[in-house]
Amino acid sequence: MQDAQPKTIYLKDYQVPDYLVDNTDLHFELEPKATLVKSQLKIRRNPEAGKDLPPLLLDGIDLELLSVAIDGSILSQPTYQVTPQGLSISVEKPEFLLEIHNRINPEDNTSLEGLYLSNDMYCTQCEAEGFRKITFYPDRPDVMSKFTTTIVSPKDHPVLLSNGNQIDSGYCEDGRHFATWEDPFVKPAYLFALVAGDLQHVEDTFTTGSGREVKLQIFTEPKNIGKCDHAMRSLKKAMRWDEEMYGREYDLDIFMVVAVDHFNMGAMENKGLNIFNSACVLASPETATDSAFQRIESIVGHEYFHNWSGNRVTCRDWFQLSLKEGFTVFRDAEFSADMNSRAVKRIEDVSLLRTNQFAEDAGPMAHPVRPDSYMEISNFYTLTVYEKGAEVVRMLHTLLGPEGFRKGSDLYFERHDGCAVTCDDFIVAMEDANQINLTQFRHWYSQAGTPVLDVTDDFDQAKGVYSLKISQSCPSTTDQKDKLPLHIPVKIGLLDQSGNDCVLNSKGNTEEVLEITKSDQVFEFSGFQEKPLPSLLRDFSAPVRVRYPYTEKQLIFLMRHDSDTFNRWDASQRLAFLALSKLQKDYRNGRALQLQPELVEAYRDVLSNTALDPALVAEILRLPSEQSIAEMSDLIDAEAIVVAREFAYKSLAEALFPELWAKYSELNAQKPYDPNAKDIAERSLKNTCLTYLAATEKFEALELVQKQFEAAENMTDSAASLSALINYGDMQKSDSAIQDFYQHWKGDTQVVELWLGLQSSSARNGTLNKIKDLMGHPAFEVRNPNKVRAVIGGFANRNFKQFHKEDGSGFRFVAEQVILLDKLNPQIAARLVVPITRWKKYSKNLSEKMKAALQHVLDAGELSPDVFEVVSKSLK
């Protein structure tokens, strides 16, 4: 908890470590309330830092120090000194063996950082700065060491795991047992892991391209052993994919994954021993939705890919986080695109970016992909570092082409293997491998804010020349007022009047990447008889906003004809935004609402177009979320957004009722569940139709929903129908469906989390009171982040209507929960507060109420640095 104001750390202050640790020998004696940790560190003065011998500073938090010894002699104070942040030791020689004994309390560790207990299983989470909650250590990623770990435990925890290979195991005289693990690769402390529990595992093997056999194991509590197969299949696909696409082989003889129920994040790439949030690894056809199956495949891939992009080559300091996360998100996105529908994956990712990352970049916590400063690094695992960071890597891929990019990544891995490096090292490798200059491109790493491209065009009939004028600008952000022009790849096509792609250059290409480098640029295309229609930023080739005055007619044309699937969807979004803005305006001016007939016809067209991928049809039909409409608004009028969207949704449902019904019936074929891309696409469209039908609240539609709920044989269909009942069904039927579902699934943690989330996102009035009741339900557990995210996070992030109630009750509720949670788990509390930080963008009443809720958190005092940083920065 906060004593004084937490201090700000700056990238410009980076200095190499004073001391290096060549070997780290750890010895754990596990006890729930008093685990003994003995560490032996082979330490040497860092030659790059100088020749004098400054005190050795070790990080350490919440540790009970028992003894400190150097080369076998016990030290006494003042040779060493304990501070709230760690330990300072006077040093007399450039090389020595340091031995420290300390005690920790895993059972009372509710922060889920360091060593903690989850359902009686010991596990660790060390990224970013959790290792200092285990023992005193230079807990920074540029100190890389060879680790050996011995775990001693009573026999009720038969499985004892750590990084690398097991080199010894046996029994102690007192009846306990032990295992010793050795990791042959140097690594920073944040990649350390330890697991001990009564676990079972599934096992498989993978033969690498060079013929080595790797043992693959997935560990879970015994009751979940039947839910590991999908993760194992995903892991083998990811291993093969990284060999084929990046030439990267796995390097140890064993790769282990452990599922735990209590976890702050999705999963963690600890060397050879990945630890996963159960929700991101366990799945079975009966219990997991299609999106859970896909999420698991991508996260298993993501953590596996870190073995190279993160572990073999790691970050020099935490400002460089995007070096490993942005790159690895790009890698997992490409993996998922190759395994499933590329276009749909792209649409999903861009929706997330535009809705949430753009909002972050325009809000009080805006920061560059490589931040310049932070108070608490946990707050910087953001959409900007991850998703915008991945877009920056994608732009390099676009600019260099697949071969050039591969040359660059090969050089990067080869040059920096075993090292802790910077984002700039990554760029330099790309430059050196391709003989190009990326000086201007580097601004993407240092400049915050979402760039805007203003596009206008002109056609010279006499000369047959079509020209595009593109201007770039970037709004000011908190710490950065003036922005430099960026190097932006803009992929475009031009459509003729029958909707075909025009030839753009002498090579005969119908698509071109325009490289924008100046504030204003004009591009000319010749040989045209008629003015073409531009298809801009195809495949979303850069994380920018594009403004071009498309008419509704032109958008409908692009929806029908654009050869770029992404832009077909994008045209539908632009069209929907235009219609929704008009509805909002009419609502504010007290005019009657009406949906334009052209829009209805465009949607009817899409629904009946059998040539389109059903998943794409579903994405187009769903309408932009309230969140994304809010993000597009200069001033958010929450009530008008809700009214406009509900009106549009219901109007479409009524106008297209027969078509929706027919499509539903066509797709509702009974066949055995399989989460392949085609079936997933069909279920997605089917359930989108079902939700529309339910929104009419017609008797026959609600009957259909009830029928699906009762007959569903997979969780996707079951959850979709339950959600429709919760939102639209009559109260009694809805309540009994909720109860029946719980009775049936209460033994399955993942399904219960889903059940909680569906209830908290109900748009019906009265939901907040139901949520308060739900928090007293046996299924809720305040110490479990997944449950907190499902109930409170679901309300704040996915229940736009009820969260934004005019009386401010939603904001006040979230503020109260943040204050309570901060005492248990600061990381979770700091994430939960985000939805009430963007008060400046809201219209008067909500803005004031949101700000008051935020101030209430600040006034509660005794805040963690995590929550303090977010709240204080947003009140500025």
Residue 551, SS3? coil
> Using CB under 6 A, which of 139, 242, 261, 325 touches ligand BES?
325
The residue (of 112 and 470) whose beta carbon lies closer to ligand BES is 112
Q: Which of residues 69-128 bind ligand BES (CB under 6 A)?
A: 127-128
Residue among 29, 129, 303, 626 flagged as catalytic: 303
**Residue 379: closest CA among 122, 129, 196:** 129
Integer CA distances (angstroms), 153 to 29, 174, 180, 390, 836, in order:
6, 10, 12, 42, 45
Beta partners for residue 29, in sequence order: 36, 152
Integer CA distances (angstroms), 874 to 183, 264, 365, 475, in order:
43, 23, 7, 18
Residue span binding ligand BES (CB under 6 A) among the ranges 263-271, 531-539, 544-552, 597-605: 263-271
Minimum separation from the CB atom of position 295 to ligand BES (A): 8
C-beta of residue 474 within 8 angstroms of C-beta of residue 450: yes
Supply 569's token pair: 């969807």
Beta partners for residue 137, in sequence order: 59
Contact partner at residue 758 from ligand BES, Zn ion, none, CB < 5 to 8 Å by partner kind: none
306 binds ligand BES (CB under 6 A): yes
Question: Distance (Å, rounded) from C-alpha 818 to C-alpha 864?
Answer: 11
Minimum separation from the CB atom of position 303 to ligand BES (A): 6
Minimum separation from the CB atom of position 601 to ligand BES (A): 40
* Residues contacting Zn ion: total by CB under 5 A: 2
Minimum separation from the CB atom of position 331 to Zn ion (A): 10
Binding mask 29-48 for ligand BES (x = CB under 6 A): --------------------
329 binds ligand BES (CB under 6 A): yes
Minimum separation from the CB atom of position 790 to ligand BES (A): 15
The residue (of 325 and 631) whose beta carbon lies closer to ligand BES is 325
Q: What is the DSSP letter of 184?
A: -
Residue span binding ligand BES (CB under 6 A) among the ranges 264-272, 430-438, 760-768, 801-809: 264-272
**Residue 428: closest CA among 399, 406, 408:** 408
The residue (of 112 and 771) whose beta carbon lies closer to ligand BES is 112
The residue (of 29 and 113) whose beta carbon lies closer to Zn ion is 113
The residues, any chain, with a CB within 8 Å of residue 286's CB and separated by 6 or more, are 713, 714, 715
> Using CB under 6 A, which of 228, 232, 252, 268 touches ligand BES?
268
* Residues contacting ligand BES: total by CB under 6 A: 17
The Cβ of residue 108 has, within 10 Å, a number of other Cβ atoms equal to 12
> Using CB under 6 A, which of 55, 266, 285, 404 touches ligand BES?
266
Q: Give me the DSSP letters along 129-146.
A: TTGGGTS-B--STT--BE
Minimum separation from the CB atom of position 96 to Zn ion (A): 35
Binding mask 513-552 for Zn ion (x = CB under 5 A): ----------------------------------------
297 binds ligand BES (CB under 6 A): no
C-beta of residue 547 within 8 angstroms of C-beta of residue 539: no
Contact partner at residue 266 from ligand BES, Zn ion, none, CB < 5 to 8 Å by partner kind: ligand BES
Integer CA distances (angstroms), 78 to 73, 86, 213, 349, in order:
15, 14, 53, 55
717 binds ligand BES (CB under 6 A): no
C-beta of residue 256 within 8 angstroms of C-beta of residue 276: no
Residue span binding Zn ion (CB under 5 A) among the ranges 52-60, 323-331, 388-396, 805-813: 323-331
Is 303 designated active site? yes
Distance spanning both ends of the chain, measured CA to CA: 22
Residue span binding ligand BES (CB under 6 A) among the ranges 61-69, 324-332, 479-487, 504-512: 324-332
Q: What is the DSSP letter of 98?
A: E
Minimum separation from the CB atom of position 306 to ligand BES (A): 6
The residue (of 336 and 691) whose beta carbon lies closer to ligand BES is 336
Four-point Cα dihedral 780, 356, 347, 230, nearest 10: -30
Minimum separation from the CB atom of position 191 to ligand BES (A): 9
| E runs forming strands in 199-253 | 200-207, 213-220
The residue (of 127 and 613) whose beta carbon lies closer to ligand BES is 127
> Using CB under 6 A, which of 26, 30, 194, 265 touches ligand BES?
265
Minimum separation from the CB atom of position 310 to ligand BES (A): 7
Contact partner at residue 381 from Zn ion, ligand BES, none, CB < 5 to 8 Å by partner kind: ligand BES
Q: What is the DSSP letter of 5?
A: P
Q: Give me the DSSP letters along 717-752.
A: HHHHHHHHHHHHS-HHHHHHHHHHHHHHHTT-HHHH
> Using CB under 6 A, which of 299, 393, 513, 542 touches ligand BES?
299
| E runs forming strands in 280-434 | 313-315, 373-374, 419-421
The residue (of 129 and 183) whose beta carbon lies closer to ligand BES is 129
The residue (of 251 and 496) whose beta carbon lies closer to ligand BES is 251
The residue (of 153 and 298) whose beta carbon lies closer to ligand BES is 298
> Using CB under 6 A, which of 183, 269, 717, 753 touches ligand BES?
269
Q: Which of residues 439-458 bind Zn ion (CB under 5 A)?
A: none
The residue (of 270 and 723) whose beta carbon lies closer to ligand BES is 270
Integer CA distances (angstroms), 738 to 496, 675, 745, 755, in order:
53, 25, 11, 8
Minimum separation from the CB atom of position 377 to ligand BES (A): 8
Contact partner at residue 570 from Zn ion, ligand BES, none, CB < 5 to 8 Å by partner kind: none
The Cβ of residue 166 has, within 10 Å, a number of other Cβ atoms equal to 13
Contact partner at residue 297 from Zn ion, ligand BES, none, CB < 5 to 8 Å by partner kind: none
Q: Which of residues 790-829 bind ligand BES (CB under 6 A)?
A: none
457 binds ligand BES (CB under 6 A): no
Minimum separation from the CB atom of position 305 to ligand BES (A): 9
The phi, psi pair for 36, rounded to 5°, reads -95, 130
618 binds ligand BES (CB under 6 A): no
191 binds ligand BES (CB under 6 A): no
The Cβ of residue 657 has, within 10 Å, a number of other Cβ atoms equal to 16
Burial degree of 594 (CB within 10 A; 0-12, 13-18, 19+): exposed
| E runs forming strands in 34-75 | 35-45, 56-59, 64-70, 73-74
**Residue 295: closest CA among 309, 270, 277:** 277
Minimum separation from the CB atom of position 806 to ligand BES (A): 33
Question: Distance (Å, rounded) from C-alpha 307 to C-alpha 304?
Answer: 6
Contact partner at residue 128 from ligand BES, Zn ion, none, CB < 5 to 8 Å by partner kind: ligand BES
Minimum separation from the CB atom of position 788 to ligand BES (A): 15
Contact partner at residue 404 from Zn ion, ligand BES, none, CB < 5 to 8 Å by partner kind: none
Beta partners for residue 460, in sequence order: 465
Question: Distance (Å, rounded) from C-alpha 599 to C-alpha 601?
Answer: 5
C-beta of residue 115 within 8 angstroms of C-beta of residue 194: yes
Residue nearest ligand BES, Cβ-based: 266
Question: Distance (Å, rounded) from C-alpha 725 to C-alpha 643?
Answer: 21
Binding site residues, Zn ion, CB under 5 A: 325, 328
Binding site residues, ligand BES, CB under 6 A: 127-128, 265-269, 298-299, 302-303, 306, 325, 329, 332, 381, 386
Tell me the catalytic residues. 303
